[in-house]
Amino acid sequence: MSTELHKSGNLLRRLLRQKEIQIFVLLGVVFLLIFNYMPLMGVVIAFKDYSITSGIPGIFKAPFNNFAHFKEFFSDRRFMDLLRNTVCLSVLKLICTFPAPIILAILINEVRNKAFKRIVQTVSYLPNFISWVLVLNLATFFFSENKGVFNEIFMGLGLLKQPVNWLTSPGAFYGFSSALAVWKTMGWWAIIYLASITSIDPALYEAAGIDGAGRIQKILHITFPGIKGAIITVLILSIGGLLGGGMGGANFEQSYLFGNVMNNSTSEIIQTHAFKLGLAEGRFAYATAVDLCQSCISILLILVSNKAAKMISGDGIF
Q: Which residues of the shown chain bind other proteins in the complex (CB under 8 A)? A: 19-20, 23-24, 26-27, 30-31, 34-35, 38, 51-53, 55-56, 72, 77, 144-147, 165, 167-169, 257, 260-265, 276-277, 279-284
- Is residue 155 packed enough to be buried (19+ CB in 10 Å), middle (13-18) or exposed (0-12)? middle
Q: Which helix (H) or strand (E) holds 225?
A: helix 224-226
Minimum CB separation from other proteins for residue 263, in Å?
Answer: 7
Residue number with CB closer to other proteins (42 or 229): 42
Cβ distance 126 to 183 under 8 Å?
Answer: no
Residue number with CB closer to other proteins (116 or 141): 141
Which residue, 284, 274, 309, 248, is CA-closest to 42?
284
Q: Which residues pair with 48 in a beta bridge?
A: 64
Residue number with CB closer to other proteins (183 or 256): 256
Minimum CB separation from other proteins for residue 300, in Å?
Answer: 29
Minimum CB separation from other proteins for residue 127, in Å?
Answer: 22
Residue number with CB closer to other proteins (109 or 168): 168
CA distances 144 to 114, 159, 261, Å, are: 38, 16, 16
- Cα-Cα-Cα-Cα dihedral sign, residues 216, 220, 226, 231: positive
Residue number with CB closer to other proteins (55 or 212): 55
**Any idea of the CA torsion for 123, 124, 125, 128, to the nearest 10 degrees?**
110
C-alpha to C-alpha distance for 248 and 309, rounded to whole angstroms: 21
Residue 90 phi/psi, 5-degree rounding, is -65, -45
Minimum CB separation from other proteins for residue 143, in Å?
Answer: 10
Minimum CB separation from other proteins for residue 128, in Å?
Answer: 24
Residue number with CB closer to other proteins (37 or 116): 37
Exposure string over 162-188, b if 16+ CB within 10 A, otherwise e: ebbbbbbeeebbbebbbbbbbbbbbbb
Minimum CB separation from other proteins for residue 157, in Å?
Answer: 17
Q: Which residues pair with 64 in a beta bridge?
A: 48
Minimum CB separation from other proteins for residue 287, in Å?
Answer: 10
Distinct helix (H) and strand (E) counts, the chain: 18, 0
Residue number with CB closer to other proteins (143 or 189): 143
